[in-house]
Amino acid sequence: MNSDLHARLAGAALLLAVALPAQDYDPRPAPQLAKLQGLVGDWQGAGKMNEPTGQETPWTAKISYRWTLGGHFLQEDFAVRYQGLDLPYVMRNYYGWDRERSRYVAAMINSNGRARVNEVSILPDGTMTTLQRHHEHGIVFQERSRVRVAGDRCALRVDMLMPEGDSVQVIEGELERGGEGFAGDWGVAAWMGAQPNEAMQKLAKLAGSYETKGEMTMAPGMPMTAITGTDEWEMVFGGVAMHGRTDGKAAGSPDAYESHALWGWDPHDQCMNTVFVDSMGQVGQMQ
């Protein structure tokens, strides 16, 4: 991707920042997000991973939840350390409400370079449940993660459903509110020694700071509006993923625009995945 193409992409993001408020757009965070308020804060705890061999591996975890992007998303920074491994597994999630499809979603990136948008369900008892389909080593399986908050305690459970047999609980643990939490660490090495492939190495050439200046029109026949912005792109997790941030302004508008994009390689689809969230509550995914 050359810098000219990047500038045009950034300009498109800034255009959205102005054009959408002019339409039927409600700038307030969706009221459905109130169901996530109980997660806000710092958490720490421990549990065990049940190996297919029957062996149990202890783990410890730290998590922080913070409202971000004008309150449109709940940012989760998560780090878990398994006994016997030097490096933690790290994950970033942006939980939000998809107005277009009336559903909870989580835009995520993890330290093995997977970027995707997952659908999230809030059960009647408040349990937050996420289902993910995985392809690993030629095997397709489903992962169900459940997080339930009760006051200052949080229960974490992860089940796996393989092509044959009953589902198996592979992760169980308990967390308590408090402690230092985990504020995120883009500098941690990739999980299990993963290395950036050729596509990610090419993407790394985009890393850096950019300034965008341009103009746009909100509708045919209307005068042009000046737009300005900055972009910061950095390779993270040892180069297996990229994080980008866009900040923009449009002349005559008091509102500032902010978006985050997460890039990773999808080995099953053999393409780059990027997911994005912004301060207007938008969430999306592209290949």
pLDDT in tens, 51-82: 877 899 999 999 999 999 999 999 999 999 99
* Eight-class DSSP state of 281: S
**Contact by Cβ (8 Å): 160, 143:** yes
Give me the pLDDT at residue 51, please. Answer: 83
**Contact by Cβ (8 Å): 75, 94:** yes
Q: Is the pLDDT of residue 18 over 80?
A: no
Closest CA to 9 of 244, 254, 283: 244
What is the rounded average pLDDT for all residues in the chain? 90
Region of 138 please: left (phi>0), alpha (psi -120 to 50) or beta. Answer: left
H/E segment holding residue 12: helix 3-22
Give me the pLDDT at residue 186, please. Answer: 96
* Eight-class DSSP state of 171: E
Average pLDDT over residues 266-280: 94
Question: Could you give the percent of the chain with pLDDT greater than 70?
Answer: 91
**Contact by Cβ (8 Å): 240, 200:** yes
Average pLDDT over residues 96-103: 95
pLDDT interval class at 136 (50, 70, 90): confident
Average pLDDT over residues 107-114: 96
